Chains A and B, each alone.
Chain A
Amino acid sequence: MQLIPCPWCGPREEAEFHYGGQAHVPYPDDPAALSDEEWAHYVFFRDNTKGRFAERWNHNAGCRRWFNAVRDTTTYRFESVYRLDHPKPVTP
């Protein structure tokens, strides 16, 4: 089974984790000013990247903390993991 390196707990089996969708989707600055279409884009519309994709993961069988990971969607390889308060790492 693939191991996912939790930023807190270290490498654990992927069955301990839960997927949380695309990372770095900012909450609207002025939510009241959004049109229905803009809300729909914020709530439902996500990138469908082939290749490296920054996404959120939750270590729900361990420390139950959210973190971000850059994963290659074609190979399922985790390129890097980083805490929520850290910026997205620059990958070559």
Chain B
Amino acid sequence: MSKRYLVPIVYIIFLMLPIYWLINMSFKTTNEILNSFSLYPREFTLDSYRTIFTDPSWYGAYINSITYVALNTVLSVALALPAAYAFSRYRFLGDKHLFFWLLSNRMAPPAVFVLPFIQLYSSVGLFDTHLAVAFAHMLFNIPLAVWILEGFMSGVPKELDETAYVDGYSFPKFFVKIFIPTISAGIGVAAFFCFMFSWVEMLLAKNLTSVAAKPIVAAMTKTSSASGYELGLLAAAGVLTLIPGAIVVYFVRNYIAKGFALGRV
């Protein structure tokens, strides 16, 4: 093995240490966490996990998070598909300006938008619903999805479209039956990024909800501030938030590199 592989190995170890520490803490009792320092749990316990899986305010928050993330991913990709097709195949009035205006929303700090969003979604009666968070996250996820999908679609030769029309396909039939299967890898990558940015965001998700749609990220901050010493519970909740991400990243592992490279910015 060549010596230079040490660099990625050391880097990966550095990445895994805090994750290991979180998992380690999640299996310890509160007493052990506060009174001793140990590299592995001496009194192994599943109490923290048991609390989370039996208390509706905990597992309900997970369900809320997954609901709005799924809504956001499906809606973002569904809306972005025709738009990305238009950008990759046609020139139209204001197309370049529109594309860059869309991307500029990726640069908007959530801190700027949080107060107007609360007022906007309250006034249309969506405050504290999954839909509000899903819509708010579309501000930065739709531009991203359009950008990634446009990159993938531009790699598909236009002859594919023309051949299909010659064979008598109508546009909707061509789009659903031929085009979407052709760029399924791109759809996977776009969905991955939408999932990721919606799953990790907290500021908007927390402030657009109160009780009914409270996400796990908000449930966690509440516990950590109200009872600062329930570190085991906090760690267990944190470990459980890693799982959906790990599953999703496993499915798109072969496309991650490609998804990053495409796009025309």
**Are A and B a genuine interacting pair, yes or no?**
no
Residues of B whose CB lies within 8 Å of any CB of A are none
